[in-house]
Structure 1
Amino acid sequence: MKPVQSSSPPSQQPIELVLITGMSGSGKSVALTALEDLGFYCVDNLPPELLATFIALEQSHRASKVAIAMDVRSADSLPGLPERLARVIDDPEQNIHLRIVFLDTATDILVRRFSETRRRHPLSLKQTDDQHQALTDAIEHERELLAELREQALVIDTGLSRPAELRSQIKDLLGTQHAPLTLVFESFAFKRGVPMDADFVFDVRMLPNPHYEPELKPLTGRDAPVASFLGRQPEVADMQQHITDFLRRWLPPMLNDHRSYVTVAIGCTGGQHRSVYLVEQLAAAFTADWPTRLRHREAAHWPAVPEGAASPAVSGRPATT
């Protein structure tokens, strides 16, 4: 996500502006509800051509935290939205910090959500014998219309998130004051797909797998016995060091590129042992220099741990899911 800040001396009440956009059916209403809980004044489906007028009105009311949802319901005005945003931010009379959040997920998940709710997609206007294909075509058209906005945004993949989890994630990412760069470390299972919001993806399936050790199989990478097993493996240490070196080399240029968040996704087969361990270790290593967040995407799928077998988290910090 690329925040934009006016470089001119401010003459207006500063506003923290969050633009929520993304695919229809991806959870934008849930995100707005979470921002309301954080004290944002929220407006759904504001026409892009009213953006400048709306911001001026909120400044006159001395609003400091504003969230706006915009999507393909304003399809005719979307092509000019990036330019409208730039004009508002670059206006020397404004004092605005903008963050754009794009909610996304795979097409097949969106198709299933629309089918389950029997809602019509905003771009699905034609009636055909093949409603599934018509819906798929509408979703792909929507992706094309929103592609430019997506490039400027923090992308959140909501495909495997329950509403409560998405609300928690929004509050975690947007509920604090703006930091120069926040690292989000996420573990995942390749068998459930690569996170769509990842900036970097590392595949660690070639590392020794605790799954095949009977006493370790029901545990996770946050448990001390698994951490001890993986910590003894030279390949694991090498992988951790290579990822660390890569991130330390390339994070400073990304900060210079005005990013607010970088998501580092590490995947193994089940998202339970190897990826979890490495995410915990990397977050602990980087937390002294960068704000960090943890997310174990597959935590809901972890097996119940036998009584007395679990140990404290390796990093000593709870993960956000």
Structure 2
Amino acid sequence: MKKEIGGYFELEDFGGKEYYPNLYKVNLGRTALRWLLEGRGYTKIYLPVFLCESVTEACEQHGIRISRYQLDAELNVLLPRKKLGESECLYLVNYYGQLTDEKILAYQKIFGNIIVDHTHAFFQKPLKGVDTLYSCRKFWGVSDGAYLSTDAVLPMDKPVDHSNKRMGHILGRYEENAGVYYQEMLQNAARYEGMEIRRMSRLTENLLGAIDYETGRRKREENYRILSEALPSEFIFTRVTPEGPFVYPYYHKEGLKLRRWLAEHKIFVPTYWKNILEECTESSLEYQWAADVLPLPCDQRYGKEEMQYMAERIKEWEAAGE
């Protein structure tokens, strides 16, 4: 018998049910992609220009050839409409939950091999026969974790990850302000670079089983509604209201300045795709999307009071003509 008996207590086994209990459980979204590429045997991937570095680095680490494509102002893929080769695939990012199931199936019919990145759409269920990736830490208080939906037969010789040394900033923020543990969070994120493919840790799996997903979804939708009414944003990223939204993508032509001002008022709005600000020209659509779309938090940690406070501060800044 290898299991210890007695001694001090560890974290309880919550015994709950995850949202995607039947999908492949992986340590990170980027390693889930590499595992899928390995299982499918792809040798070339088409990636959008508007993309975070972690996905590109994962593909480079796998040794796959990369070809870049652009999107038009309506988020349509700008590639010749034809079936890809058997060893090729198209990577589709569901930006802010705007990629509907109908569009996904249409792209699959045109291009054949596709991979859908649902990092921004945790509640959008995977479609049968469509390889789909999810990231857990973008929606929930866990340090890692991802899901992969695929009918490919993946090699199961992957070790189980361990998350206990990555939980400091998560546990710390539960009792103190985020600033106290901000550097630890950054250091933790840096450790993900080059990480090997592993299956989801027992700790992360246990925590994911303890989440009230229905309440989380409902709160996100209500907060999104409050922000959309207080801060109407007629932009490409608000055409579709997703189920259990990731954030409320608010467009402002001076997005970078507004972000800095909000941070001074303890409203921290991230800049996704920071690499785009260095790689693309200011006149490009990609630069505009990265710089001027503010992903306002609307998740389950907050309610009406916080949403109204954010909206009031943004209106205050706009009225001052900053």
TM-score by length of 1: 0.25
Structure number with the higher strand fraction is: 1
